[in-house]
Amino acid sequence: MQNNKVVLIVIDALRFDTACTHMGFLHHLVERQVAARYKVCSEVPSLSRPLYETILTGTPPIVHGVTSNMTVRLSKGQSIFHIAKEHGLTTAASAYYWVSELYNRAPFNHMEDRLQLDTHLPIDNGMFYFEDHYPDSHVFADAAWLMAQKQPDFLYIHPMNVDDDGHKFTADSAQYRNRVLAMDALLSLFIPKCMALGYEVIVTADHGMTRDGDHGGTTHEDRHVPLFVISDAVKAGIKEGIISQLQVAPLCCHLLNIKPAEDMVPLLLEGVFTAKEV
C-alpha cells in the first residue's frame, strides 16, 4: 500500500449538535455513503492550544504539557508533522499562528512568520494568520494554493470564524449557526477539489462552544465535536457511541500509511479497514 495524501481540517469550536443540524453538504456525503461520521469527546481542558497539540500528537495535555492557551513553546512531542517528515513525506498548513508556535517557531513574529515556505521545519510550507476574524474563505484559498503549488502529502487546515462568532454571540445564536452553515458551504467547494486530487479528508474540531459564549469546561457543549472521514479505508455511515479525541492522530497516520508515534493510543475506530482490506 502506497502512502496516501491526507487533508485534516480542524474547525475551531464546532459543536457536534450544530454540525449535525447545520452541515448539509457533509451529511449529504454521509447519506450517499461517501463519508463516515463519529461523535468525539475532546480532552480537557477544552481549550484551543492544548487541543491542537492533542489532535496532532495523539496525547492528552497531562502528557504533552500544553495545558493552557498561555503555554507558548514548541511541541515536545512527536506530531503528525514530525512523523510524516521522518517517513519522507511533505507537510503544509493553512492555520492560526498558534500552530506555527507549536511546530515551527515560537514565539510567532507577526512581521516575519506569516508565510513560511520551503522550510526544513516540521511544517514545510505554512501560511499562518493571526486575526481571529481572518476570513475562513481566505484560509481555504490559502490551502488551495498550497495544494496546487506544493502538493503536500499532509495538509492541515484550521479556520477560526466559528469560534470567533461563538465568543461574540454565544453558541445559542443565529450568528453562530449561520457561520456553521457558511463553513459547510466552503467545504462543499473545497472537499470535492481534495477528492479529485486523491486526498483522504478528515473534518473535526478541537472543542465546542457554550450558551455563555465560551469553552474550557467539561459539559457536552464544551467537549462533544464531530469527526467526518472521507476515505476508502473507512466504512461510510453514522457510527454510534462516543470516541476519544486521541483517535484522530493514529487515524491520520493510518490513512497516510505511516507508523504512529509510540505515545499514540492504538487505533480502535469502528469501520476502519486494514491496509490489506483496502
Domain residue spans of the chain: 5-247
Percentage of the chain surpassing pLDDT 90? 97
Structure confidence at residue 43 (pLDDT): 98
Number of C-alpha atoms within 13 angstroms, CB side, residue 151? 3
CATH of domain 5-247: 3.40.720.10
From CA 275, how far away is CA 42, in angstroms rounded?
27
Res 165: pLDDT: 98
Q: Can you give the pLDDT at residue 276?
A: 57
pLDDT average, residue stretch 150-177: 98
Query: Please, are residues 210 and 221 in contact by the beta-carbon 8 Å criterion?
Result: yes
Per-residue pLDDT tens digits for 66-83: 999 999 999 999 999 999
Task: Report the C-alpha gap between 145 and 167 in whole angstroms.
Answer: 29
Whether the per-residue pLDDT at 33 is higher than 90: the answer is yes
CB atoms near residue 218 (< 10 Å): 11
pLDDT confidence of residue 16: 98
For every residue of 223-271, DSSP letters joined together read HEEEEEEE-TTB--EEEEEEEEGGGHHHHHHHHHT-PPPTTSPPP--TT
What's the average model confidence in pLDDT over 49-76? Answer: 98
The pLDDT assigned to 1 comes to 47
Q: Please tell me whether the peptide bond between 107 and the residue prior to it is cis, using omega within 30 degrees of 0.
A: yes
Please identify which residue in the block is written with the cell numbers 449538535: 17
pLDDT of residue 278: 55
Mean pLDDT score of the chain, rounded to an integer?
Answer: 97
* 3-12, 192-201, 255-264, 268-277: segment of lowest average pLDDT: 268-277
Distances in whole angstroms, Cα of residue 203 to Cα of each of 73, 158, 187, 191, 239: 26, 10, 9, 10, 15
Residue 30 has pLDDT above 60, yes or no: yes
Do 16 and 225 meet the contact criterion of CB atoms below 8 Å apart?
yes
Q: Please write the tens of the pLDDT for every residue from 110-148.
A: 999 999 999 999 999 999 999 999 999 999 999 999 999
DSSP 8-state assignment for residue 3: P
Residue 233: what residue type? Answer: A
Predicted confidence (pLDDT) per residue in 210-236, tens digit: 999 999 999 999 999 999 999 999 999
- What pLDDT score was predicted for residue 2? 63
Classify the phi-psi angles of 168: left when phi > 0, otherwise alpha if psi is within -120 to 50, otherwise beta: alpha
Sorting pLDDT into bands at 50, 70 and 90, what band is 277?
A: low
Question: What is the chain's length?
Answer: 278
Dig out the grid coordinates for 145 from the structure: 494554493
Measured CA to CA, the distance from residue 140 to residue 159 in angstroms comes to 8
pLDDT at 152: 98
pLDDT of 190 > 90? The answer is: yes
Q: Residue 274: what pLDDT?
A: 79
User: Could you give the CA distance from residue 138 to residue 212 in angstroms, rounded to a whole number?
Assistant: 28
Grid coordinates belonging to 115: 508565510
pLDDT at 230: 98
Q: What is the pLDDT of residue 113?
A: 98
For residue 51, give Cα distances in angstroms to 72, 130, 240, 252. Answer: 14, 18, 23, 16
pTM score: 0.98
